Structure 1
């Protein structure tokens, strides 16, 4: 492959529009193309809005499909309406086998969580407040993978589950499901300048054979080193 063709100026058109918070979907699109992957499935954990700040909508627009997991009933209904070709799973994802858990809806729905300690942190470090607590169904991360990806791992995973990203990665069975690219929120949330990087996420990813490809400050994009090395030599 001619690497330098990727450095040449390219025409800016509608295909260059990003739907992510900080352009993560454009980076993911680029790295998947560079790795020579054209058949793309995805898993969007904590999908939230089906379009805005969404890391998989660009792939959907390009004709790919996947699974979106979102416990907020209003948002899951929007996903089903606006992305009918995707599978929407209206449940929480976790690291226990409890059939249901408490879901804490925040005044900013992007901060809604199943972790009560995360609610406390958000209320301490921001203006956002808890607005509703409800019970929602839950699936263990590996049970969810087994149900929706029984044959092989999704190519791309977007992981943004408030307060639980590290634990999900620690529980993830990477010996069975090894996505080529994973985008993870690696910055804690704060409005008072106390946000920090969750360094243990980087350690877990490295231990499982992933390396950092890009970082947008809020999110980090990791690539499966074996897949990367096979493509670029």
Structure 2
């Protein structure tokens, strides 16, 4: 079956290449955002996988609950303690953050923020409650809050096979030592995310050697941002509707014209003569 990719930067294709031989797998998605748009886990859910989605924004959390009933959906953030935490929401986007410094940069650039208080839970406490087997991959996309998330995870007890963390700008991450110090190796930077592989699963390393290609037998989902954005289809549809409306208006105007009425009278006269 052709693999339909939803992820922003082919992350799901790379993960599927490494993990497609494992049935009924399990993932943790921290900063899950929308259940489909740019989702790293949607394709896996469609293939019978399940997991945990951590998403504090109510709009996206409600959508996850509706679209992913087999998943565990948690409306909270992941952090280094089970406590209340300030959260800075950017409406309708994946840029919301629990990191105060990142929020300040947003504010300085003129971006509107909504500050709210949300519950924070450590990944270890989430795993303790909901994980009963292997974690095949852990995805973290938290806009500057990565270190706090990682400090809340006991990697000696809970061992995701693969970790991918969005790291688009600064490649000298202070938190990376938490991951590498827990016996994970950095195996790929794809321009947006860094992929880490557990030392005990280095047999999967070959899956990261090459970029996604035709032999991966994949298609981009409808409306994918780098293929055929939905907005383009909607614009084309609007243009066609406008052309159709204009044609109908011109036809209606012609039917009301003197020329049209003259043609109709001639047709009626010819019809009587032929009769």
> d(CA) in 2 for partners of 1:160 and 1:145?
18
Deviations along 1:21-54, whole A, 9 cap, x unmatched?
1000100111124xx5334101110100111111
**1:147: which partner in 2?**
129
> 1:25–1:113: structure 2 CA closer, same or farther, 3 Å change rule?
same
Matched, 1:174 2:189: no
- Could you give the per-residue CA deviations for residues 46-77 of structure 1, whole angstroms, max 9, x where no partner exists? 10011111111110011111110101111100
Q: How many pairs are equivalent?
A: 206
Per the TM alignment, residue 201 of structure 1 is displaced from its structure 2 partner at its CA by 4.0
Report which of the two structures shows the higher radius of gyration computed on alpha carbons. Answer: 2
Tell me the residue number matched to 1:74: 59
Q: TM-score, normalised by structure 1?
A: 0.80
Corresponding residue SS for 1:26: helix
| Equivalent-residue separation in structure 2 for 1:60 and 1:230 (angstroms) | 21
Note the 1:38-77 alignment, pairs <5 A: 38-77=23-62
Alpha-carbon distance in structure 2 between the residues aligned to 1:74 and 1:205: 31
TM-score, with length taken from structure 2: 0.68
Give deviations 1:133-166, integer Å, cap 9, x for gaps: 22222212221221112x4442111111122112
2:52 aligns to what SS in structure 1?
Answer: strand
Higher helix share: 2
CA contact (8 A) 1:51 1:57 kept: yes
Q: Residue 207 in 1 paired to residue 184 in 2?
A: no
- The alpha-carbon distance between structure 1 residues 38 and 223, as it changes in their structure 2 partners (threshold 3 A), is farther
Q: CA RMSD in A?
A: 2.2
Name structure 2 gaps, 5 residues minimum.
207-275
Task: Answer yes or no: is the 8 Å Cα contact 2:122–2:153 preserved in 1.
Answer: no
Q: What CA distance in whole angstroms lies between the structure 2 residues aligned with 1:70 and 1:211?
A: 27
Q: Spell out the pairing of 1:220-231 with structure 2 (5 A cutoff).
A: 220-229=194-203
Paired residue for 1:9?
none
